[in-house]
A and B are shown apart, each in its own frame.
Chain A
Amino acid sequence: MSRWMRLGLPVAAVVLALVFSGVVATLVLLFTGDDVVGFWRVLFTWPSERDLVDIINMTAILYLSGAAAAIGFRMNLFNIGVEGQYRLAGLFAGAFAAQGLLPGKLNVAAAILVAMAVGALWAGIAGVLRVWRGVSEVISTIMLNAIAGSLIGFLLVKWGESTGNARNTKMMPEDSWTGFFRLFPDVSDGAYHLSLLAPLVGIAFFILVYYTRFGFDLRAAGASESAAVSSGVSVKKMIVVSMLLSGAVAGLIGVPMMFSEAHQYGSAFQTGLGFTGIAVALLGRNHPMGIAFGALIFAFLGQQANLLNILAGVSPDIVNMTQGIIVLSVVIAFEVIRRLATRIEQRQVATQLDAERQGDTALKGASA
């Protein structure tokens, strides 16, 4: 298959899926008698500089979440627990940073490690239950999410402190606050310093998966567990390790925003990112580059959706629904082109073999 097709087909598929989803959304809006024009106008208005900053930040955060889910997917593990992992990790990182045990940015670095460790640990429970007791990680991570929620509540009540009606961890020392990269002179905030974690994770993910022995084992085990086992991969180890990695990356999700904005864990800490990350990973086909694309689309749509009911009187839920349709139609489109590509490739193989065989027969015919 030509290089052009290899790259072109997926892009075409995504575009087609996006268009299709847009059509469905339009039809729904027409059916309910909503303001279709307003909907599209709001969606396609170029975001303000301030909104662009938000989109960039959200892209970084969703990237982390998508990457966390994707690491599991790569190993055929369905880590629904990203949600619980990053919340718990955020709590511990916030609480740790608030102690100010280390000076300045060292404290930040240590808190990041704490976040990764807690995320990994929480995910690791599911991994260990899977290899040790055969408990499906789909179920165990759902349970662990719920348990994490209660646990967070308990810990906050027990050791947190109150600000107004909100309950938070202690504010971290100011020298541990991270700032913003100012992107526009007129916008006071910019990209969170720690949003750099996203490209770092992306690069690490890319190298790990595609350029290391470990990554090869991971992909092999994900593509065919039986083949991987025969090739010497210890699937149990891979399950636990990829769960730990997935959890460690999940632990990072809440970190950029917390260190740049709230400087504490509490009511401002955003929830629901773990679930969005799953969709982002699926949209990006679990590929480091694809996830970036998926994160951008979701961040953009999320940001614009927030304006919908103010500017067009349309419920932002229509955008949530459309996001789901995008995911479904993109995977359908990918499946269709995958079949198409396989067919094209097999045809090529067959043509070549035929040509060779014909050559053989011709030779034999000549010699006979």
Chain B
Amino acid sequence: MRFDLNDEQRAIKDAIREVCDARASRGEGAETDGAFWSELAKSGWTQMAVPQEFGGQGSGLLELSLVLEEMGRALVGGAYLGHAAAAVLIAASGDEQQRPRWLPGLATADGRAALGQAHNGGALLVDASGAALAVIAGPETAAVLDPVPGALNEAASLDVTRTLHRVESAGAERLRGDVDRGLDRAEVLLAAELVGVAQRAMELAVEHASNRQQFGRPIGAYQAVSHRCADMLVQVESARSAVLSAAWTADHEPEQLPFAASVAKVTAASAAWQVAAASLQVHGGMGFTWEYPIHRYLRRAAAGARLLRSVDHHLDRIADQNGLGAEAVAAGAVQPAYAVP
């Protein structure tokens, strides 16, 4: 029992942080950034999520989560989430025919995949321009749209670091395996990205609170600000614990994943939005300007929290798993279903 990263995991985290920080320091335009994607592909980062038997690196979900947290923190490489999520979805929820058909392409430099959300009979694709294929997720389904049509109908994206397109999903082929398994794994990656968003939003708040003077003191000396920051820390660390645990669980105790993934999504989605909103408040008027980065985090948090299945969906599942499900009622169970090691 050791809840800390091993040397290899730390090395991954340090390496991707360096890559992301370097990209972030080059300024705006980080969104759907072909050059950055090529850089990531060249160094093999984009192959991590593809199983080895299909030409990828077959990294664990824990390692992928470390990458995604750093990307969320630096708010770069937005397309990476969709690609990695699509890969784990096809790998976990595709059947014997589907996996060899699509996964090898995802391990190649020009085989980028995008993620889409079923919506109003069609789908909304995230960062789809230039993607070879897309996986469209619904609350209980996932389907592969191959190829992504050349002419895409652009929609206004709340998350300004990502593009959004509307497509017909009629031609998409449903993944025929265990869809929940793939969705849960994708949720963990999304949650990891949201932890990075929350982390950076907190850092910005703490930095501002330490420097900004009002009434003769740095505002971080006032409890209205400092306690707000402390609450951010509680949320960020809790979400990080939940994501690390869910990612580890996916890799090692997959039968426990449904609970762990729901906990990760709920905590990370709440943390990202609440921390970003609180950070904006700490920044005062400055936080409300377009030029200052906090709103990009806020938008990522708002949209990200609503990708894949909703928080309410997860809460309902958690209630079902913990004594309020139909089976529990039938069995008269009192003990929670979940087992502590």
Pair from one complex: no
Residues of B within 8 A of A (CB): none
Residues of A within 8 A of B (CB): none
